[in-house]
Amino acid sequence: MNNGKPPVLRVENCTMQFGGVVAVDNFSMEVYKDEIVALIGPNGAGKTTAFNFITGVYEPTNGRVFFEGSLMVANRPQGKMKRFYQGDANAICSDVVRKTPDQITKLGLARTFQNIRLFKGLTVFDNVLAAMHMHLNSNFFMAALKLNRGEEKRMREEAAALLAMQGLYHVKDKIASSLPYGQQRRIEIARALATKPRFLLLDEPAAGMNPQETDELAAFIKKTKEDFNLTVFLIEHHMTLVMDISDRIYVLDFGRKIAEGTPAEIQENEHVIAAYLGVEDAES
């Protein structure tokens, strides 16, 4: 898959502790351009936590994250954490780089949330427009005095085109929270796309969807990836979906990486079967 090219996203020896609780333990992984990579694992394995330190919501306790070759996030145990740190003492990172989530989004990563975080009281259209705000060229005075009509018009057209492309144009004037769950998930993806990312992180996009919506979602993700020229990294519990769309899979259990490989390899991996698939098969 990598053809000797450097990865787009590289997570290096990352540990994330909440006080004494180790949510992610010395985790390393790579995602290469144009891949769809899945992160799976039982509940509480630390998947969302991994997303959160990649996107700047949390600072990892230790470790580095590179995006497109440059160091994006780095931290080492500091202050009180020095005492609590339970990770590998040899892997302690030397740099400290902090970026806020908005800075990371500006680098070209966009995400959705496990517990849908739309701007609930706003219309679908305004949700998308708000996500385009970061690309605004005109300064505050231009925008506030409506001297940027051209740009505002272009933003609206782009937002409309994006919604049309995602099959959501007909709900554009609905209040986001009034729509069914499955649709809200798709709107969240559309909103993430409005930031014009090169890398998309999806946290359980199929959660709360009915079987039919889930089937459609697989095609939707593949098509979106092609249309927008994206690299996709997703967390998902729904095994059929994961096996269908992923190029490679990482498996977390109790914060540790227990396996990585192609869907076929993962399905046969005995650690994974023991930790995860046995349980999950019964459900799906």
Partner 1 sequence: MIRLNSKTKLILTVAALGLTMLWFYHLEQNPRANGYLIKILERSAIYAVVAVAMNLMNGFTGLFSLGQAGFMAIGAYTVGILTIPVEARPNVYYISGVAPWLEKIEIHYLAALFLGGLIAAVFAALIGVLILKLRSDYLAIATLGFAEIIRSVIASPQMDTITNGSYGLKKILRFETIYTPFILSAVCIFMMVLILRSSYGRAFLAIREDEVAAEAMGINLFTHKELSFVISSFFTGVAGGLLAMFMGSIDSGTFRVTLTYDILLIVVLGGMGSVSGSVIAAFLVTGGREYLRFFDEPLKIAGVQISLFRPGFRMVIFSALLMIVVLFYRKGIMGDTEFSWDGIANFIYRFLPTGKARRGNGGRDE
Ligand X SMILES: Nc1ncnc2c1ncn2[C@@H]1O[C@H](COP(=O)(O)OP(=O)(O)OP(=O)(O)O)[C@@H](O)[C@H]1O
Q: Applying CB under 6 A, which residues contact ligand X? A: 18, 21, 23, 41, 43-49, 114
N- to C-terminal Cα separation, the chain: 29
The entry of partner 1, Mg ion, ligand X, none near residue 126 (CB within 5 to 8 angstroms by kind) is partner 1
Q: Among 38, 39, 68, 33, which Cα is nearest to 231's?
A: 33
Spatial neighbors of 199 by CB under 8 A, at least 6 apart, are 8, 9, 31, 67, 108, 109, 110, 230, 231, 232, 233
Shorter beta-carbon distance to ligand X: residue 131 or 241? 241
* Binding status of residue 133 toward partner 1 by CB under 8 A: yes
Shorter beta-carbon distance to partner 1: residue 106 or 172? 106
* Bridge partners, residue 15, by sequence: 62
In whole angstroms, the minimum distance from the beta carbon of 137 to ligand X comes to 36
The entry of Mg ion, partner 1, ligand X, none near residue 165 (CB within 5 to 8 angstroms by kind) is none
Count of all residues that appear for the chain in the document: 284
Shorter beta-carbon distance to Mg ion: residue 46 or 77? 46
Question: What is the edge-to-edge ordering of all strands in the sheet holding 36-40?
Answer: 109-111, 199-203, 231-235, 36-40, 248-253, 256-261
Shorter beta-carbon distance to ligand X: residue 24 or 163? 24
What is the DSSP annotation of 100-142? -HHHHHHHTEEE--TT----TTSBHHHHHHHHHGGG--S-HHH
Total chain residues near partner 1 (CB under 8 A) = 37
Amino acid at 221: I
Give the three-class secondary structure for 81: helix
Among the candidate windows 18-26, 32-40, 129-137, 204-212, which touches partner 1 by CB under 8 A? 129-137
Give the three-class secondary structure for 86: coil
* Binding status of residue 136 toward partner 1 by CB under 8 A: yes
Residue with tokens 């798709």: 186
In whole angstroms, the minimum distance from the beta carbon of 203 to partner 1 comes to 11
Chain residues in the site for Mg ion (CB under 5 A): 48, 114
User: Alpha-carbon distance 195 to 89, whole Å?
Assistant: 38
* Binding status of residue 113 toward partner 1 by CB under 8 A: yes
Shorter beta-carbon distance to Mg ion: residue 32 or 113? 113
Shorter beta-carbon distance to Mg ion: residue 35 or 204? 204
Q: Taking CB under 8 A as the rule, which mask of x and - marks residues 30-69 in contact with partner 1?
A: -------------------------x-x------------
In whole angstroms, the minimum distance from the beta carbon of 242 to Mg ion comes to 14
Amino acid at 126: D
The residues of the shown chain that bind partner 1, judged by CB under 8 A, are 55, 57, 100-103, 105-106, 110-111, 113, 117-122, 126, 129-136, 140, 143-146, 152, 155, 191-192, 194-195
